[in-house]
Structure formats: structure tokens, C-alpha cells
Amino acid sequence: MSIRPLVYSNRENYDTIRDYSFLDEEDKEKGEDRETRRAIERQNRAERARRRADELRSVRQIVEMARENDPRLLAAIKAERDLKAAKRQARLDILREKRAAEEQQAKFEAEQLAIVRAASEERRRAEADRMRREREQVRQEAKRERRRLRTVVVDRYDHFCQIEPRPADFGAERVRILAALDLLCQRLSNVQLQDLNTRLEQITSADEARDLFNAKYQEIQQEMQPPGLQIGTKSSQSDSAEHSTTASVKYTPEVIQALIKAVNLLPAGTPKRWEAIAAYINQHVPNTSISGKEALKQAKALSHDDAHLRKEANTKAFDAFASSMRESEAVKNVTITSELEADAARPWTVTEQRALEQALRSCSADQMSASGEDRWQRIANIVGTRTRRECMLRCKELSDQVRAKKAAIAAATKGSTQNGLATALTKPSGASRSKPT
């Protein structure tokens, strides 16, 4: 194998030593002149170069033929080719094994991940089932305790209506008790309901049971009141009764309803809020004159003695409700609201109010008059959940509220200004207050 480059490389670089001058066809010496001799010499050189090239080409062809048919070279080429193929196959085998190992590892990891996910899903389902069973158990316990409380109050004591002194209006009293019962069932937890039921069942006196029921009801009402209107629970029942008797003379249901409207219309943060509320009441209720301090005091009393004052303000509404609805429907549907005003219309939500304001801004009166389209119908179409009449009534209601609020604030400001001027006029001068020297 080591001979191959020496033998064939020498033959490939072979250069003949013949000049082929002995084969010249013409002798330059026979030329008659110099130019003829030069032409003959050029012709001879060209012929010698051709013959030299033919010889070298023949040698190269023979060497190439010998190299192509040399068994040693063929064996070496085959061995080299086989070695390259073996190396390539080895690389392919390594890559194939690596790919198979990666696929097996990925398959194993996928199986492990599927096992983990299945276990996690099983735990999640088990936890969801456990929570569902707990919720169902709590729901059943709440249902059972509410049924116990309803049995004690309604079946055993007949809404506490047979206890002396008996109420003048049995229907209104039953509705009040049912409303209080519904509020207790909604606000008390299962443990609190169970404790209340146990105490009511252990009590043998109807008076004590009624006092316990009313005390728990008053406690829940105190918890539901806003922090600014909460009243301390340490005041005695005699003071509360005396305050209710005195207030009932001056604060009629019309005054109370006007007070509630004013409180809702003039929120906290309004300048001289309670003076403005008092001015609003004096403007809207004839023959009424109250101050800001009296309005604040009555609002606190109203929040403290909520059940009594609301029943007094809505006696007619309760009578109509008790006469038109069966007692079973009253048990299911009666609720106590935070306002005394009964609003039969469906209240406007925040989304509807925002849609109405956007529609009013986008559909101005000038624009609609120019296009010839009905403005309020276009506004109702934009709101989507309200009719044309409801949109008009809502705008009128908001306008009335804004005008009433401005009038109340203006009246309160004017009253405070007049009081300050009167104080300044009645104040003694410095000369009259000075002592003689």
C-alpha cells in the first residue's frame, strides 16, 4: 500500500527526454535564405511538440488504466469505503439508540405525569365531594334549626299574640313576627340558631320566650345598622318607650318618610347636612318646623327603634298586605327593607344608570331634532332593559332630586346666614360693655 503513491505519482509527473528532432521531415539547412530556414524551424518545433504531447498523453492513459485495474488500489479503496460506511452506520446506531432512549424517557415521564394528574384529579374530586357533603350537611342543619325555630314561634306560641297585653292588630303583629323570624333565620349561624332554639324550648313561660326572641331580634338589628347610626344598647327600655311616645306626637309618618328621603338624597359629606335635611322636611311637609339637631336625633332614634317606628309608618301597607296575601305566602315572601318607602317599580341598577347617562350624552336634543328620530326611543334602545316611559320617568326623578337637594342646601345656608346676622345685631357694643372710669 505504501508503493501506490510512489509508483503512480512518478508516472503522473513523467516528462520525456526525447526531443524528436530526428523525425524532422525537412532540414532547415536546405533553406535558401534565412526566412525560409526560420519557417522550417518553426514547423519542426511544432511537430516535435505535438509528438511529445502525444507521448505524454499515452503514458498518462496507461498509468490511469493501470491504477484503475490495480487490485491493491481497488482493495484499499474498498477497505476505505467500508470503513467510512461502518463509521457512518455506527453514528446512525448511536443516534437511533439515543432517540429511542429519549422517546422511552419521554414516554415514562408522560406516564408518570398522567399518574400524578390522575391522582390530583382524584384528590380534587374527593375534596369537592367532601366540601359538597359538608355544605349539604350545613344546609340540612340550617333547614332543621330554622324549622325548629318556626315551630316554636308559630305553632307553640302562635306568634306571641296570645300574651297579655294583646296587640290591637293581630295581622300586623303576625307579619312583624314573621319578618323578624325570617331575619333571624337569615342572619344567625347554625350554632346560634341551635342555641336560641334550645333556650326557647327550655323556657316554659311565654313572656320570657317573647323577651328572648325580641332581644335577639334587636341585637341583629343593631349589627345591621351602619356604624354612624348605631346607638349604644345600654339605654333602658323605659327611656326608649318615653322617647317613642314623645316622638310619635311630633314625627308623623309623613315626617318620617320625608326624613328618610332626605337622608338618602343628601349623603354624608354634604355641607351642613342635617340643616339641609331639616330644611327639606320643612319644605315638603306642611306645618312642620324642626332643626338640624332634631333631625339628627330622630334619625338615630329611627335606627335604634327600627321595628316599632317602621311598623307605625307602614301600618296601612301591612294591613293591605295581610288582607291580600295568605299567611303561608307571608311566611315565604315577607322581608324587612332598610327604607320605609315602598317602591313598586323595579329599581335601576348601576349598569342601567351608566347606560342611561351615556345615552343622554350621546343623544342630545339638538342632534335628535336634526335627525328627526325620537330621542327617548333611541335612549331606550341604547339602555336595552328599559322602556321609553321608564327612561323619561327616571330622568324626571333625578332632576327633581337635584332641584330638591339644591333647594334644601340653599335654605340651610340662608338660615345659618340669617342666624349669624341676628346674633351680630343683638350683640352689645363695646361702649355699652365698658365700665366707667
Q: pLDDT digits over 379-394, tens only?
A: 888 888 888 888 989 8
User: Is the predicted pLDDT of residue 159 greater than 70, yes or no?
Assistant: yes
Give the pLDDT score at 103. Answer: 96
Q: Which amino acid is at 46?
A: A
pLDDT at 405 over 90: no
- For the chain, give the mean pLDDT: 77
Q: Between residues 16 and 147, which one has the greater pLDDT?
A: 147
Find out whether 411 and 276 touch, Cβ atoms under 8 Å: yes
Outline where 251-291 has alpha helix (H): 253-265, 273-284
287 dihedral zone (left: phi>0; alpha: psi -120 to 50; beta)? left
Confidence of residue 333 (pLDDT cuts 50, 70, 90): very low
- For residue 304, the model assigns a pLDDT of 65
Could you state, in order of their start, the residue ranges of all structural domains in the chain? 3-69, 350-423
Query: What's at 232, amino acid-wise?
Result: G
The yes-or-no verdict on residue 318 having pLDDT over 80 is no
254 burial type by CB count under 10 A (0-12 exposed, 13-18 middle, 19+ buried): middle
The predicted-structure confidence for 96-127, as pLDDT tens digits, reads as follows 999 999 999 999 999 999 999 999 999 999 99
Give the number of other CB atoms < 10 A from CB of residue 310: 22
* Contact between 368 and 378 (Cβ < 8 Å): yes
Task: Return the percentage of the chain with pLDDT > 70, whole number.
Answer: 74
Three-state SS at 409:
helix
Q: Residue range 255-269: average pLDDT?
A: 81
Q: What is the pTM of this model?
A: 0.32
Q: Which three cell numbers stand for residue 162?
A: 296570645
> Which of 40, 39, 46, 45 minimizes the C-alpha distance to 27?
40
Q: What is the mean pLDDT of residues 40-51?
A: 89
Q: Is 279 exposed, middle or buried (0-12, 13-18, 19+ CB in 10 A)?
A: buried
- Which is higher by pLDDT, 178 or 246? 178
Calculate what percentage of the chain has a pLDDT beyond 90.
14
* Cβ atoms 195, 149 nearer than 8 A: no
Which amino acid is it at 419? N
Higher pLDDT, 326 or 402: 402
Q: In terms of residues, how long is the chain?
A: 437
The mean per-residue pLDDT over the stretch 45-54 comes to 89
> Who has greater pLDDT, 284 or 314?
284
Residue 305 — very low, low, confident or very high, per pLDDT cuts 50/70/90?
low
Q: Mean pLDDT over residues 127-136, rounded? A: 92
Q: Please give the residue that has the higher pLDDT: either 8 or 244.
A: 8
Least confident of 22-31, 62-71, 353-362: 22-31
Class of domain 350-423: mainly alpha
Q: Given this model, what pLDDT does residue 11 score?
A: 67
Contact yes or no for 217/149 (Cβ under 8 A) = no
Is the confidence at residue 435, as pLDDT, over 60? no
The confidence score (pLDDT) of residue 201 equals 86
The confidence score (pLDDT) of residue 167 equals 66
Higher pLDDT, 120 or 417: 120
Average pLDDT over residues 136-159: 85
Residue 110 CB burial class (10 angstroms; 0-12, 13-18, ≥19)? exposed
How many secondary structure helices (H) and strands (E) does the chain include? 18, 0
Which pLDDT value is given to residue 78? 93
**Greater pLDDT, 131 or 159:** 131
